Amino acid sequence: MLTRMTKPAAAAISLGLALVLTGCNTYPTENRSLDSIKQPVIERSNFVLDLNTGAGGLTIPEQARLEDWFETIDVSYGDRIAIDDPIDNAATRDAIAEIAGRYGLLVSDGAPVTQGQLRPGTARVVVTRSTAEVPGCPDWHGSGAYNFDNATHDGFGCAVNSNIAAMVANPEDLIHGQAGTGETVIMTSVKAIETYREQTNTGSGAGSGVTEVSSEE
């Protein structure tokens, strides 16, 4: 048996549907500033290697093992190398610094805290590597919504911040920067071109509201 719908009931249903559709099309955020909410995230990873040491520093086999390890983890500009040596043996530090210098890197003062205790007669080499990316980009989910509050689009800043994160030679520079020396540093000046070539080959593209995340390997 069919029941005829009254005009007030039909009007109420239509109004309800209109409100639901309007709610679905409203702009999802209320960022009315010109600040981008999509900012680079800096993630640090620690790679560790324990080496056997002696009064004279590192033996030839241990030096070879360290250099092989550097090759395996592909040590390069932007990596930070530190030494955790309980006895602070100068000969050990000099040997590690010499090998690090072959990769154009210096040994930094102060090693980060890592898991596990050092055995007597060993020194730990810690390589800290930082990477930068902008999570959540690109963001087009609000492109078809009504923007009655004149809010900034959710994807605003994605292109610029993602390009900076991809091209910066040392991601740590996004946090604290570096003092200029007045000289051109080859490793930093060619990073943008190198990144462009890599992204072209792979077919993908890649402030300071920068976030830091740390991990250990």
Q: How does pLDDT run across 168-202, given as a tens digit for each residue?
A: 888 888 887 777 666 665 555 565 666 666 766 65
Task: Please indicate, yes or no, whether residues 151 and 71 belong to a single structural domain of this protein.
Answer: no
Phi, psi of 211 (to 5 degrees): -105, 140
- 65 and 137 fall within a common domain: no
- Among 101, 131, 161, identify where a domain stops: 131
- The pLDDT value recorded for residue 35 is 84
From 131, 155, 171, give the residue that closes a domain: 131
Could you tell me if 118 and 149 lie in one domain?
A: no
What is the residue range of 166's domain? 30-40+133-216
Q: Which of 131, 152, 167 is the last residue of a domain?
A: 131
Residues 140 and 82 in one domain: no
Q: Does some domain include residue 187?
A: yes
User: Whole-angstrom Cα distance, residue 155 to residue 207?
Assistant: 15
Q: Are residues 126 and 137 in the same domain?
A: no
Contact indicator for 127, 79 with CB cutoff of 8 Å = yes
In one-letter notation, the amino acid at residue 98 is: E
CB count within 10 Å of CB 159 equals 15
Q: Which residues pair with 45 in a beta bridge?
A: 129, 215
Same domain, 191 and 160: yes
Q: Number of helices (H) and strands (E), helices first, in the chain?
A: 6, 5
Identify the CA nearest to 129 among candidates 39, 211, 48.
48
Helices (H), 112-190: 158-167, 186-189
The CATH number given to whatever domain includes residue 113 is: 3.30.1330.60
Q: How many domains does the chain have?
A: 2
The DSSP output letter for 183 is S
Q: What is the pLDDT at residue 131?
A: 92
Compute mean pLDDT per 10 residues along the chain, 217 residues long, and list them.
Answer: 54 49 54 84 94 92 96 93 93 95 92 88 95 90 74 87 90 79 60 65 51 58
CB neighbours of residue 169 within 10 Å: 19
Q: Is 169 inside a domain boundary?
A: yes
* Same domain, yes or no: 146 and 202: yes
Residue in this structure with the two tokens 């005829």, named with its chain if needed: 4
